[in-house]
Structure 1
Amino acid sequence: MKFKKIILIIIIFLSFLGIGSMLSNVQSREANQLLEAYGLSNNTRYIEVKNNQEVRTFLTYLKKRYPHNKIQVHMTSKAKKNQTLVWSNHNVLKLPTESGRYFTKDDFKGQVSFAVLGLNAKVPTLKAQGNEYVYINQKYYTVIGTLKHYRQMKQNGYYLTASPKQPTGKFKLRDYQIIIDSSNKVIQQIAKHYGVKAKTPVFVKNHQIHQFSIIREILFILIFLLIASASNIILAFMDWKTVQQTNLKGSLLHNWLINHGIRILLVELVVTFGAYFFLISRKFVSKPQHLIWLLMTSWVIISIFYALSILHLLRKEKNNAKTA
């Protein structure tokens, strides 16, 4: 009997993992849309380095340490919120432009820094001999393109290429939040090298989930919830069968059912939190509060099914006693 109960508890745990995974799928899909708007993938994480190292030292380290790994770096300025430095050792995802073009791999190799502007970029520019330049700190950056409108992105931002040989390479690393797009292994190694922790980018965490009600995911959530509820109904019947074998009556019967029911529900509450922490560590979740809300709601629902099943069996016994 105990073995069967353990199996049912495991089924409930797996059902909760399934419910959380469906939410993760929805949030990952939405996050992917946002990340693609930045030319990044879902593997993106960020670190913050507080030493006095220059950007070029950091990029030189990446080139020497990971010559065969695909890495793309966006460094967002802490002081100039609309400035982002971009570096990559491979061809980046080409973002649609209103005019000109986006960066290519070759733009990160030379000594000249290039700029791509948001549609409403707030940065000093000037035109000379038919070309447009960004002018910052007495340095000129050739504008090669202007991005099309993206509702997910701030329109007043501008992007500069970064390279050990370019003027942007002399910027201080501590002045930037470093967003890295690569394999999880590479990102963790880079973070360990600098003694910092890799985290999910702010723009992903703050991204609004606009399409939670995805039909396929909702259907699967309901199916997993039904499986967990059915398991709890079976648990209620097993507990009832156990108490019948004890021949308890009256208040003793009620107390046993209440005490045992509370223990079962507390165990399932622990299972709920176990599923939450497992999913947080293994799945992409941009809004953890949505996950805990969904799992706790699921726990309340299956608890209600357990309680209703016990009440149904109690009433059935009372009716049988009256007719006897």
Structure 2
Amino acid sequence: MVNVLLILLAIGAGLIWSLRDQSEYADILDHGGLSATARVYPTKSTKRISDVVAALANDDTVDDLQVQFGVNKTTSYIYEKGSVQKLPLDSGQFFSAADYNSTIPVAVVGRTAAENLYVGSNQKYLQVNGQYLSVIGVTGSDASPRLNNHIFINASAQGTTYNPELKHVEVLADTDDWTTVNSTLKRILGAHSYKHLANAKTQVNSTRDKHLGAFFTYLILLAIGLVIVAAINVWLTPAIKVAGGDRPLRNHYIFSMAGSYLPGAIIAIAIGTGIAWWRLYITNHVRLVGSAIVMLAIFIVANQLLMFWQLRRKERSREIT
């Protein structure tokens, strides 16, 4: 019974992390593919978007980078280099490396924005500044109405019909390697500092931590559940009679009992974690495995303490009688 309960708790832990991962992913979609660690670079530079794209494309020290030039809350010019967060597509494709070095502007639009496109000769077009841009892809998600309304246009090193100075747009960047990229971005953008994504004017407020209180409540309930299962395990474990002075025997018994239930507990939590890995939406599997290790540690500590408390209580009871 104890092992079955541990399997269920491990699956429950996976469900908690799944909900958290879904919340984080929805937040990324709300910000057009930018993660929570993305930065905003205020600049008054007169450089143009094409100058920045060309400089980044020719800089071998910069990789796995996404830069968005926010015009407003619904329109962004975007440049990507290397491996970055991909947006879900309903149809078509996202920008390729060739699009970032082309004189032809193209667009990827959200599914709601796609309803207002001009269609001609089996091709959809987006009207921007009096020009019709070919739409090469439609992105969208049920979890992000903002993404469904957003418009992305390729930021090109060759320049397009819209090529404003940096001081007229909001520059947002995202990468996994800020140690290398930060100084390069500040130099190219002419920025002296950066702000966090929460301060972006062309982005919505983060919803990532909207349910943070409930998330921690679930984790606390999970820990309480582990303690309860440990108490059941101790209750089902036959206790030896230990005289008040037999502390070595008592301690040896407590540690030896750990060897009897520990293999089953490890297998049960591993099975539950495996089911969560296989069946649930999990993006951070390292975090899932880490939580399984913490669960096992809580269960072991709770078992040992409760077993010690049970034996000490019985010792005192015999001393009184």
Aligned residue in 1 for 2:85: 93
- Counterpart for residue 17 of structure 1: none
Cα separation, 1, equivalents of 2:210 and 2:191: 36
- Unmatched tracts of structure 1, length 5 or more: 1-25, 224-324
- Alpha-carbon distance in structure 2 between the residues aligned to 1:205 and 1:40: 13
For 2:193, the equivalent position in structure 1 comes to 197
Alignment partners' CA distance in 2, 1:188 and 1:178:
13
Q: Deviations over 1:161-190 (max 9, x none)?
A: 111114166222222111111221244214
Cross-structure match for 1:43:
37
Instruction: Give 3-state SS (helix, strand or coil) of 1:94's partner.
Output: coil
Amino acid at match of 2:132: Y
Match of 1:177 among 155, 158, 170: 170
Q: How far has the Cα of 1:75 moved from its partner?
A: 1.4
Helix, strand or coil at the partner of 1:185: helix
Matched, 1:133 2:125: yes
CA offset at residue 45 of structure 1?
1.1
Q: Which residue of 2 aligns with 1:237?
A: none
**Identity, % of aligned pairs?**
19
Letter matched to residue 89 of structure 2: T
1:133 deviation in Å?
A: 1.3
Cα deviations across residues 76-119 of structure 1 (Å, max 9, x unaligned)? Answer: 114xx311111112254332222222223333233222211112
Q: Which runs of 5+ in 2 are unaligned?
A: 1-18, 225-321
- Out of 113, 116, 134, the position equivalent to 1:121 is 113
- 1:1-324 matches, within 5 Å, as 30-35=23-28, 38-78=32-72, 81-121=73-113, 125-154=117-146, 155-167=148-160, 170-182=163-175, 183-190=177-184, 192-193=186-187, 194-202=190-198, 203=203, 206-207=206-207, 209-212=209-212, 213-214=214-215, 218-219=219-220
Q: TM-score, with normalisation over the residues of structure 2? A: 0.51
Stretch moving more, 129-138 or 165-174: 165-174
Aligned residue pairs, count: 196
Q: Kindly provide the amino acid, as one letter, of the partner of residue 198 in structure 1.
A: Y
Give the counterpart letter for 2:59 in structure 1. R
Any conservation in 1 of the 2:65–2:83 contact (CA below 8 Å)? no
TM-score by length of 1: 0.51
Change (3 A) 1:204 1:215: same
3-state SS of paired residue (2:58): helix
Task: Give deviations 1:240-290, integer Å, cap 9, x for gaps.
Answer: xxxxxxxxxxxxxxxxxxxxxxxxxxxxxxxxxxxxxxxxxxxxxxxxxxx
Is contact 1:82–1:122 with CA below 8 Å preserved after alignment?
no
Preserved CA contact (<8 Å) 1:92 1:105: no
SS in 1 for 2:125: strand
**Residue matched to 2:286:** none
Measured on the aligned residues, the alpha-carbon RMSD in Å equals 3.4
Q: Is the 8 A contact 2:24 2:208 kept in 1?
A: no
- Tell me the amino acid that sits aligned with residue 191 of structure 2: G
For residue 127 of structure 1, give the secondary structure of its aligned residue in structure 2.
Answer: strand
Q: Name which of structure 1's ranges 112-121 and 187-196 shifts more when overlaid on structure 2.
A: 187-196
